[in-house]
Structure 1
Amino acid sequence: MPVPEPGPAPEPVPAPAPAPRRRAGRTVALIAVAAVLGLVGGTAVGYGIQAEREPTPLPALNQPGLAYPAKPLPKGKEPAPLSAAEDHQAKAGGDLRKLLVPRPAGAREAEFGPRDGWYDLSSYAAGFKDEGWMLEFLNENRVRRIAVRSWDTGENRTTSVHLVQFRASDTPGAVEHAQGQQSYMPEKKFAGNEGDPIKGSGNGRYYLYPVERKAGYLDLYHARALFQRGDLMVDITIYDTKKISKSDIRSLAEKQLERL
């Protein structure tokens, strides 16, 4: 499936279309006809039998026997509620901007990157070549909000961190978004490699792109990290005219993961 080339942010891969239903065969049709005929033939007999029986009382709506546990735990034995540090959903339910990794000491606000804070959906989608497709993807997957932080360091290094949060659904949007982005990274026109795992993330990876060289321009280096945590998809990018080490992108991804 061709993947649109990304702009400042990469292009996701659409979710695969559901497989078409199989047509019912002749055997299934015959069984259905037989069932209908049997139902019609037995209706009169069924009504006669029911008329002779005593009414059957309905079960009580309140069924305490279904409660779990069967007996309340003794006082003092109840499990303690999760702390804020353990309850990831509670943390992500607050001010998402506070979960962004802070700027390093001496860093400046990005001159050309997005401004720190909330990032509106249209601006985020505009960073992709096919803006309409990205808007459709995010809306279908029930995006909730996006927070961003970006900064400049050194002569020409720009770093951006996006936290893309989705609402709860049967198919978690954060998983779809992260997997979609990771799926095309090994292609030659992108990172061209499988990347390296982000320790402790479960599904995160970080990548170094091949250097881009063009006559009349400075060399361009690019690194990226992608991972999903609960209902959040995290996308980190670094651009520089000097070489970016693996430790640069890895350590930043690990710091952001710790905050989640």
Structure 2
Amino acid sequence: MSTESADAAEPGTAAAAEPSTPPPTASPTATAPTPANPFAPPSALPETPVTPETPVVPETPVAPDAPDTPDAPGAFGEAEVIEAGAEPVRRKPRFGVGTLFLTAVLAGPLVGAGVGYAIQASRPPTPLPKIAAPKLSYPAERVDPKALAAAGPQPLDIDGDLRKLLIERPAGTEDRTDGDGDGWLSPDDMAENYGDSAREFSSLLSGGFRRAASVAWESGDDLYQVTLAQYVPESTRRAIADAAPSSTHESEVSLIPGNTESYLVIGKQPLHYARSTDTYYYGEALARKGNVVMTVAVYAKNPVDRAQLEDIAKRQWEKLA
């Protein structure tokens, strides 16, 4: 038996015993590799290191989940290492810039309102001014009834029922009176006789129109209409001025005999009814009596008979005057 120590091995043996990489850590249940015989004589040992048999690599055990450390936060936050018997240290909540800004925005108006209310509540109340009402006074002198009546609205020149001032419809003619058939005309009834009814309706209401009475009849192919329209006193002259026709080559304009404030219009050319292709000849007589405007209109199939139109206008003027 050799007397050399087991630690004094051959260089080859030392090289074989100390591989370049450390052997893997074997688990308790893994089978250890078979080492070389340390009791063999040196001559029997090979000069070259014997390659050990390929060890069986044990299965690497699954390492348990490492606990969260302060450097590696876990799924539920950072873990704290607590010594035995020590109380856990509670961390202060961290507020971001957005949270602080939102708090300032919400708290600012509340603090300002509270401070303003406190300042206003500490001030003494301001007394309200006394109610001032002028004293009633009456003139010492007597009022002249005539002067007072002259200063007020003037009464109508023609009062009462206007229908009684209209001429009678000729016998043998067909009644064609507009409105409800009772002889009275409303502003919309009068506006319907014009193509632009809306404009005429507005003109009547803004022109001081008060009331109107009318009678109309049809004789053969001709239609006659006599109207008495009453306006407020200050609008009568304007009403007849607006109704006055202008002399053109299509109509003949003159005065009613014996009446200087009148017009007589005889159309020379046929006209078309509104929204129709039918034609007619137009004739009209206008006169004013106080605040009442008299109108005699003729719609004829043939040129208007001037003498007949003048006769109707004279009879109506005499009854009105």
Fold agreement, TM-score > 0.5: yes
Partner residue, 1:130: 196
Residue of structure 2 aligned with 1:174, choices 236, 242, 246: 236
- The amino acid across from 2:208 in the alignment is R
Does structure 2 retain, via aligned residues, the 8 Å contact 1:201–1:257?
no
The structure number with the bigger radius of gyration is 2
Distance 1:141 1:219 in 2: 30
RMSD: 3.1
Partner residue, 1:238: 298
Deviation for aligned residue 1:121: 0.9
Does structure 1 retain, via aligned residues, the 8 Å contact 2:251–2:269?
no
Change (3 A) 1:89 1:213: closer
- The amino acid across from 2:188 in the alignment is S
Deviation for aligned residue 1:250: 0.7
Does structure 1 retain, via aligned residues, the 8 Å contact 2:188–2:201?
yes
Report the 3-state secondary structure (helix = DSSP H, G, I; strand = E; otherwise coil) of the residue aligned with 2:160: coil
Distance 1:240 1:121 in 2: 25
Does structure 1 retain, via aligned residues, the 8 Å contact 2:271–2:282?
no
Q: Percent identity?
A: 22
Partner residue, 1:162: 227
Deviation for aligned residue 1:229: 1.0
Change (3 A) 1:213 1:99: closer
Partner residue, 2:76: none
Deviation for aligned residue 1:95: 0.6
Does structure 2 retain, via aligned residues, the 8 Å contact 1:157–1:238?
yes
Distance 1:129 1:218 in 2: 14
The number of residues matched between the two structures is 169
Report the 3-state secondary structure (helix = DSSP H, G, I; strand = E; otherwise coil) of the residue aligned with 2:251: coil
- The amino acid across from 2:169 in the alignment is R
Distance 2:182 2:266 in 1: 25
Runs of 4+ in 1 over 6 A off after TM superposition: none
Deviation for aligned residue 1:128: 2.3
Distance 2:143 2:217 in 1: 59
Gaps of 5+ in 1: 1-58, 69-87
Change (3 A) 1:157 1:63: closer
User: Does 1:185 pair with 2:238?
Assistant: no
Change (3 A) 1:185 1:105: farther
Q: Write the deviation string for residues 86-111 of structure 1: whole angstroms up to 9, x where unpaired.
A: xx956x31111111111122222128
Q: Which has the higher contact order (CA 8 A, sep 6+)?
A: 1
TM-score by length of 2: 0.46
User: Does 1:109 pair with 2:167?
Assistant: no
- The amino acid across from 2:285 in the alignment is A
Does structure 2 retain, via aligned residues, the 8 Å contact 1:221–1:239?
yes
What pairs with 1:174-213 in structure 2 (closer than 5 Å)?
174-182=236-244, 184-188=245-249, 191-193=250-252, 195-212=253-270
Gaps of 5+ in 2: 1-138, 148-154
Distance 2:251 2:304 in 1: 16
User: Does 1:258 pair with 2:258?
Assistant: no
Distance 2:271 2:143 in 1: 72
Q: Write the deviation string for residues 98-138 of structure 1: whole angstroms up to 9, x where unpaired.
A: 11111122222128x66450011112123223333322322
Change (3 A) 1:135 1:220: closer
Does structure 2 retain, via aligned residues, the 8 Å contact 1:120–1:146?
yes
TM-score by length of 1: 0.56
Distance 1:239 1:247 in 2: 15
